Amino acid sequence: MKTFDISWRRYLLPNIHNEGWKFVGVFAAVSAVLAMIWSPLGWLGLILTVWCFYFFRDPERIVPEIENAVVSPADGIVQMIADVNGPEELGLEKQKFTRVSIFMSVFNVHVNRAPTEGKITKAVYVPGKFLNATLDKASKDNERQLLAMKTKTGQDIAFVQIAGLVARRIVCDAAAGQEYKTGERFGMIRFGSRLDVYLPLGTKPQVALGQTMVAGETIIANLGSEAPEVKGVVR
């Protein structure tokens, strides 16, 4: 029987993403200098160091073992659901998709995970602006990393990391030709932003506007299911 570790250590000492160690080191060093200048500044620096550690946390997730499931690639809130053309940069502009946009605040886990199982067919980085990521035009104007994937059932999907007003650094480990399992880590965005998932048109989202998402766990849709579209309100 499989078990999952729910000990206190998982919550007080979570894993931290490799990108975070250098920031934690810098914050800690600055805190030590500030403490030598004036002790209250040192305490402030310590608080910021702890926050930095918290920001770059990388907890394990329980990925649902459901055939053809699409899970959220990011923690955050469902900001938009719309039928749109695919990203031009990926050569998908002539295809229609249902786009689910997830906004991450500075308090969310920022590690991003593959929404489903498949092979990356194209990866494109586009420099751009740093508009508020909640705006619809951010998907075309902001700095972003676009990934096209061919699922194991042969369907085309895409997911896009979008930098925002505060986020200025996209980290992406994925490249064309790589294969990913559902929920597998592929990158992160520093200090908040947005993830867009492009589902084949006709796929009915199993999430509602305003819903809280957990990367690698919350099911967005099922590519092989006739399940009804989820509609709801936030209470």
Instruction: State how far the Cα of 220 lies from the Cα of 73, in Å rounded to an integer.
Output: 9
Query: What count of residues does the chain have?
Result: 235
Instruction: Write the DSSP symbol of residue 34.
Output: H
Among 140, 136, 137, 130, smallest CA distance to 193 is for 130
Which three-class secondary structure state does DSSP give residue 37?
helix
Annotated active-site residue in 31, 101, 139, 193: 193
Bridging pattern class, strands 179-180 and 118-126:
antiparallel
- Please identify which residue in the block is written with the tokens 């995970």: 113
Residue 157: partners with Cβ closer than 8 Å, 6 or more residues away? 70, 97, 115, 116, 118, 148, 149, 151, 197, 198, 199, 200, 223
Strands, E, within the chain: which ranges?
A: 69-71, 76-85, 96-104, 111-113, 118-126, 144-151, 156-162, 170-172, 179-180, 185-189, 193-200, 212-213, 219-222
225 a catalytic residue: no
Would you name the residues annotated as active-site residues? 193
